[in-house]
Structures are given as C-alpha cells and as structure tokens.
Amino acid sequence: MERRFRQVDVFGQGPCTGNPVAVVLDAEGLDDEALRRFSVWTNLSECTFVLPPSEPGADYRVRIFSLSTELPFAGHPTLGTARAWLDAGGTPATPGVVVQECAAGLVPVRVDGDRLAFAAPPRLRSGPVAPETVEALVEILGIGPEQVLDAEWLDNGPGWVGLLLDGAGTVLDLRPDASAHPGRWDIGVIGAHDPGAETAFELRAFFTEGDEPLREDPVTGSLNAAAAEWLIATGRARAPYVAAQGTAMGRRGRIQLSSEDGRLWVGGRAEVLLSGTAALP
C-alpha cells in the first residue's frame, strides 16, 4: 500500500543543515513490527507515524520511534511531524496552533511561517545524577572530572542525563566511546559559549541502540527543552536565547528557547525536503 511520506529537515539554517526525520502519514493498519522495521530501515535518529487522534482537542496522533525503540516524546520529530502534516494539507482546529497527541500527552505546536515551536513537556525524571553514573559518563566522554561543572537528569521522554561542561570548546572536542560501558545510554552535554558569541550554548547528544556503538543525534529538541529548564532554573541562562547543535557533525542547528505565559517554547525551522509515498503493507 502506498502511504504519504515526508522527510523533514528540522532546526537547520538551510537545506540539509539540521536533523532529518522520516514521517509516514496515513499509518493506520500498520502493526508494531512494521513500524519498527521501517524506522530501523530509515537509519535516522527518529521516524514518526501519523494516526487519527484519540484525544479531544488533538489534530492528530503520532507514534515516535528512535530506530527500534518507541519514545513517548521527542522534540525534532514533533516539529517535523507537524510540518509534514501541514504540508500534506492538514488544517489545525485552532488557527496557528497544531495540537499533537503522543504518548506523553497533548503537545501544542505554534506555527509562524517556516518556524515552528513546541511547548516543552514536563520532565519525567529530574534531580542530581549518582556519582557512579557521572564517573562512567566521564570515562565515556574521555574528559577529566574537573571539566564537569554539574550533572542533572533531563528525562522528558528520551532518558537524557545531562552534563554541563566547562565550555563550548570542550563539548566540540569530545570523541566519546562507550565500548567499556555497554548498554543503553542517552547522554546530553552542554557548554557555554563566550559572551557575545552568536549562540549562548553548544550542545551534543549521544545515544546507543542496545549494545551497538554510540551514535550522535545532530539536533535534539527534547534535550534542548530539558536543558533550558535546568539552565534557567539554576540561573545559568535567561530566556530567550539561541543554542547551537550539530556543529561537530557539519550541521548548523539553531534552537530558539523562549518563555511565554509560564511555558518554555522550543522552536526552529522545519523544511520538507522529500515528498512522496512509502510502500508499506
């Protein structure tokens, strides 16, 4: 069966500079194994499947996969799915706001031309990180413990553990290796740029899929959302600000963090680069 398909570049500053997400529209009738198989086949950090909503007030329902692992929420797939749905002719019930239903609940997405922004969901886990976990992370990242300024759980769906390092330069120089610490890892690293720089912080996100080698996600909305909550709450950042991610991979991700009506909004560009159909059962 031919199903509508889009591949969307999210958080970039031009085509192929952000993070791609594969979006299958009209995903009714696909079983879990088909969803996982297609997601793994795309070999992207995330793939989403759009379904009719089941909650009042939602414009659509989405299932989000990171390769074979289903996630309750993820940031760049949220913006990419909203853009794909709009591009395919979707019309939100409330003009200018798409309401996405996912396993984490209803997530509003504001539409402003080529820029979209989602309201950051609450964290599922926060607070300090156990010293033994920090020690393992230091070994994985190949840095000294003195280069870690702080650590915090940044889990808002993807189970990010966040490390604040001693600067953007340290973040960009990382060459992590998790071979001595097998298992599931979702590691977010943050470093401040010098005052007056184009962006306030540099972020990188590393994750594993089972026992496979560590991978890097180019630009990560969920990590930036949780990191912003932490940085703002601890007085290390003030909204609005712009963060950079993907630099070490040759990307030019730019994530806009702002606060309005007591909510944190995470935004950036979302551009459809591939449009067509996917042959799925």
Output the pLDDT for position 109.
Answer: 98
> Are residues 271 and 15 in contact, defined by beta-carbon separation less than 8 angstroms?
yes
For residues 238-255, average pLDDT: 98
Question: Which residues form the catalytic set?
Answer: 46
92 SS3 class: coil
Least trusted range by pLDDT, from 78-82, 208-212, 226-230, 276-280: 208-212
d(CA 222, CA 70): 14
User: Is it the case that residue 201 has pLDDT exceeding 80?
Assistant: yes
- The DSSP-derived string for 121-144 is PPPSB-SPPPHHHHHHHHHHHT--
Separate counts of helices (H) and strands (E) for the chain: 5, 16
Residue 281 has pLDDT above 90, yes or no: no
The mean pLDDT value of the chain amounts to: 96
Model-level pTM? 0.94
Q: What is the pLDDT of residue 211?
A: 73
> 51-108, pLDDT tens digit by residue?
999 999 999 999 999 999 999 999 999 999 999 999 999 999 999 999 999 999 999 9
Domains annotated for the chain, with CATH where assigned, are 2-118+268-279 (3.10.310.10), 131-265 (3.10.310.10)
